[in-house]
Structure 1
């Protein structure tokens, strides 16, 4: 069993200070332009962050999940959009553990490999010879402009008729598709995470071989290791919660100087004094509980033990962490003054990123 990785209070060992500075220095320009800057993207590829969850045997880094989560939180403290792209695209590259090794090796060997995608089953896949013909539109794929490959979910069809499982529900399958088969539609106009470029994608009848279809289940993993035994839903909860937490911690750091000025001019009974004390403390408590549950679940999976209950605990702790992050930001925001309403200010960008991140469908299922 590997040692538990530390979860630093700021960025610590999770992210080099010079890398955090590079991401943060470009954050405003990226936000205004609606896309990560060339320097940010180059850093992401240079550090190999998009491959942290991919199998080592086919070219990935295969980090322990707690280490990946700590990195994603630290990235979010530097820049929410960069963290969002890394998290979603590294998560899509995790699927390489369920692909045939030759396919995974080819995808990850692509120059500046980046796997984006959507979990919504808004496409159709018609059985066609030795493969599948894909058609459909998927609303959001973070990092879409830079993707070399996409993963999509589609309802299976045979001779134009949708297939159903034993319970009568439509049969849905996942596919990996080269970017040359995909049309990216520039639809992302959210108030936050603007530089994540989470645009829509469309596929108009592209054919892929049967090997490009995959099943996200430990029983179908093509690589051994705890990453592909860890339940996917809990992995998604953990990574997205960490990003949300990192954005909230960045907001708190930016807000506290303004809060201190307000407190200096208000009496001891000011409601703001309680918020200034409780918001950061409650966020830290939720964060500590989250990492404790994540470490416990990871240890069980590493040891080959059943992880259902531990995974459920990770999901619950992730939900509470996201709620604590939103509460902390909303409790402190009114004390930050009009600069926090300036769309060009750092604190406004971070506020917008936080409230966009917490709208992810995962938190409302």
Structure 2
């Protein structure tokens, strides 16, 4: 299985990693990192070509995101989450979408949680709510938010009797950011909360996601959103796990050279690293086989069966699980430097265990 780094230019990696410590201290991506993103249009991975986006095929996007997460966890995560929202451009009316997505510094942040409400008015809605964990919110141009739809004080119900929840997109200037990211890892993501108060928007700010009937008729927008989210997040954990094993390889090599390390210990270090690298490689190989196959099915048939979609979910969650467990297998053999928050090794360990708490990757499919 190829190493994630093959999809990145050395200069890119240098820029990402050189500014990673400062990004972690400040709790937001640095200007040099953002300049690289804008230059490469990475926030536009999923934006339709009609709106100056890359509309990149899913298999290539996932490999690139794994590479970016290998370079740095926070950097890869922000690119993945903010570019992922660009997929919504395939479901918005063209005139409205063109006003948003043609921005050269486009960045969409948001939350999938329905912790807001949108009250129907004559020409649109009035939005109120507060949402957590909006990666990239500090440099976002627009914000997406899921809202429970209300008619007056009453909740609008679907045909099945559940509350109707619809996504909205609003200008960043209409949103208040609330400092709230106080976790051990992914410090550079700036994943703070945001609030919207009594914001009146036209109905065009609300859109409906249906991969069977996208506005932009292309394979990317026929791919199911749940599986799209799962594969991109799993690839991030995989990239971080490979980064961790790379660092361990150097650490173990140095320990093996020490005269104080016994032959038994040297063999253990060699064996455990080989076992973990093989385990990750096998999980990555299976994952990409499933992703590539599912993508071809969507190209051929414009849809993915429930069985095929479930296979993608299983492969994604398995890769996430293997990535977490592999890092924990190696951690005890790294010495006290693994517990030092100022080391790169500890930063990767904190990142993967923070990102790995995402609900989409926690339970088996």
TM-score bracket relative to the smaller structure: over 0.9
Cα offsets for 1:308-334 (capped at 9, x unmatched)? 222221111111111111111001011
Matches within 5 A, 1:104-115: 104-115=97-108
Alpha-carbon shift at residue 276 of structure 1 (Å): 1.8
Partner in structure 1 of residue 16 of structure 2: 23
Contact 1:145 1:197 in 2 (8 A): yes
Contact 1:69 1:239 in 2 (8 A): yes
Q: 1:121 aligns with which of 108, 114, 134?
A: 114
Partner in structure 2 of residue 11 of structure 1: 5
* Root-mean-square deviation (Å): 1.5
Query: Unaligned stretches of 5+ in structure 1?
Result: 1-6
Secondary structure of 2:132's counterpart equals strand
Alpha-carbon shift at residue 180 of structure 1 (Å): 1.4
Partner in structure 2 of residue 266 of structure 1: 262
Alpha-carbon shift at residue 271 of structure 1 (Å): 5.1
Partner in structure 2 of residue 292 of structure 1: 289
Contact 1:118 1:141 in 2 (8 A): yes
1:189 is aligned to 2:168? no
Matches within 5 A, 1:42-191: 42-191=35-184
Partner in structure 1 of residue 228 of structure 2: 235
Between the aligned partners of 2:36 and 2:18, the Cα distance in structure 1 is: 13
Q: 1:336 aligns with which of 334, 337, 344?
A: 334
Contact 2:356 2:362 in 1 (8 A): no
Cα offsets for 1:322-348 (capped at 9, x unmatched)? 111111100101111111111111111
Between the aligned partners of 2:100 and 2:356, the Cα distance in structure 1 is: 31
Cα offsets for 1:148-187 (capped at 9, x unmatched)? 1011101000012111122221111111111111111111
The verdict on how the C-alpha distance between 1:60 and 1:111 changes in structure 2, with shifts beyond 3 A counting, is closer
Partner in structure 2 of residue 212 of structure 1: 205
The aligned length equals: 358
Q: TM-score, normalised by structure 2?
A: 0.95
Between the aligned partners of 2:273 and 2:159, the Cα distance in structure 1 is: 55
Alpha-carbon shift at residue 226 of structure 1 (Å): 0.4
Between the aligned partners of 2:167 and 2:124, the Cα distance in structure 1 is: 13
Contact 2:4 2:66 in 1 (8 A): no
Between the aligned partners of 1:144 and 1:294, the Cα distance in structure 2 is: 29
Q: TM-score, normalised by structure 1?
A: 0.95
Between the aligned partners of 1:258 and 1:22, the Cα distance in structure 2 is: 24
Q: 1:277 aligns with which of 259, 274, 277?
A: 274
Partner in structure 2 of residue 357 of structure 1: 355
Query: Unaligned stretches of 5+ in structure 2?
Result: none
The verdict on how the C-alpha distance between 1:129 and 1:266 changes in structure 2, with shifts beyond 3 A counting, is farther
Contact 2:116 2:147 in 1 (8 A): yes
Alpha-carbon shift at residue 274 of structure 1 (Å): 3.8
Cα offsets for 1:82-127 (capped at 9, x unmatched)? 1100000000111111111111111112351111110000000000
Secondary structure of 2:346's counterpart equals helix
Comparing 227-236 and 275-284, the one that deviates more: 275-284
Cα offsets for 1:12-60 (capped at 9, x unmatched)? 1x22111111101111111112111110011111110010111001221
Between the aligned partners of 1:119 and 1:17, the Cα distance in structure 2 is: 34
Secondary structure of 1:303's counterpart equals helix
